[in-house]
Amino acid sequence: MTHSTKAFYWMAVPALLLFVVLHTIPVVTGMFFSLTDYAGYGKWNFVGLQNYVSLFKDDRVLASYGFTFLFAITATVIVNVLALGIAMLLNARIKFRTAFRGIFFIPNVLAVLIIGYVFNFIFSNSLPLLGQSLGLDWLSTSILANKDLAWLGIVAVSAWQSIAFSVILYLAGLQTIPAELYEAAGLDGASYWRQFSSITFPMIGAFFTINMVLALKGFLQAFDQIVALTNGGPGTSTESVAMVIFRGGFQGGEFGYQMANSVVYLLVIVAVSVIQLRTLQRKEADF
């Protein structure tokens, strides 16, 4: 063993130990409890796969999966389209470029809960006033109180907040593209759109992939913004999977059952991320 590999072990092993103790062991313990009827306290019985069977028959759980995917996919598309557009504007030669970059990053620094409560006020009080004065029926009451529109409010707030982070990643990507490529394309008479589709987008493919994966994964775990905006309402129409797990497992005394839900959800998120990485990486440009 050389001196330098030893140093690597000295650095990696404590981190690994911490990870195993604080992350892996709790995860495995949780997986074990998904096979019991544990309430979070008191006695428990081993119930085998009963929780998993019940899970697939529980329409409330299935509805939460439906909502979460609808929300996550919509938000991911919106965030990436807008973030890429904003990043290109911020990468152009404009006045006060640095100042604009700073301003567009602010939403990322604010806490989601605070943003959520501010937007809650805007949706419940300010927008209805605007809707009333414009005579728009659908806007004259709080859209968060409308079970068909409430999810769009959550999408809007989540997108507003997470665009900032995606913009940073796209900006970093855009700066890796050599300027000569655009010069050559300009000499060849390529249109602006042609430059974007043939140079810019392929060249930042890796950043597009990572942004898509991170955004989708983040939105699939949505929790705090929903707590601040609708708390799962009206009714149960905006309950995300994470919220059902928290409510049923910690407040509802069905810890074991919701652990089963968590395990299934973990597998779902891992599967989605792997599929996404595979398909998107194939489309990235090699150079």
Which residues lie near another protein (CB under 8 A)?
37, 39-43, 45, 50-51, 54, 57-60, 124-125, 128, 141-142, 144-147, 231-237, 247-248, 250-254, 257
Nearer to another protein by Cβ, of 166 and 230: the residue is: 230
| Shortest separation between residue 227's beta carbon and another protein, angstroms | 13
| Cβ nearer to another protein, comparing 29 with 197 | 29
Nearer to another protein (CB atom), residue 40 or residue 202: 40
* Other Cβ atoms within 10 Å of 105 Cβ, number: 16
Largest CA distance in the chain: 77
The backbone torsions φ and ψ at residue 141, rounded to the nearest 5 degrees and listed phi first, read -120, 165
- SS3 for 46? strand
| Residue number, 57 or 282, with CB nearest to another protein | 57
CA count, 13 A, side-chain hemisphere, 257: 18
Cβ neighbours for 196, distance < 8 A, ≥ 6 positions apart = 88
Nearer to another protein, 91 or 230 (CB): 230
Amino acid occupying residue 268: V
Of 261, 149, 159, 150, the C-alpha closest to 218 is 159
163, 167, 192, 191: which is closest to 75 by C-alpha? 163
Q: Which is nearer to another protein, 58 or 224 (CB)?
A: 58
**Helix ranges restricted to H, the chain:** 3-19, 25-33, 50-57, 59-91, 97-109, 112-121, 127-134, 150-174, 179-187, 192-195, 201-203, 205-220, 224-229, 241-246, 255-282
User: Which residue pairs, CB below 8 angstroms and at least 24 apart, start in 244-252?
Assistant: 244/60, 244/61, 244/64, 249/40, 250/40
- Nearer CB in complex with another protein: 202/253: 253
Question: Minimum distance between the CB of residue 234 and another protein, rounded to whole angstroms?
Answer: 6
Q: Are 163 and 214 in contact (CB under 8 A)?
A: no
Considering the complex, state which of residue 113 and residue 184 has its C-beta at the smaller distance from another protein.
113
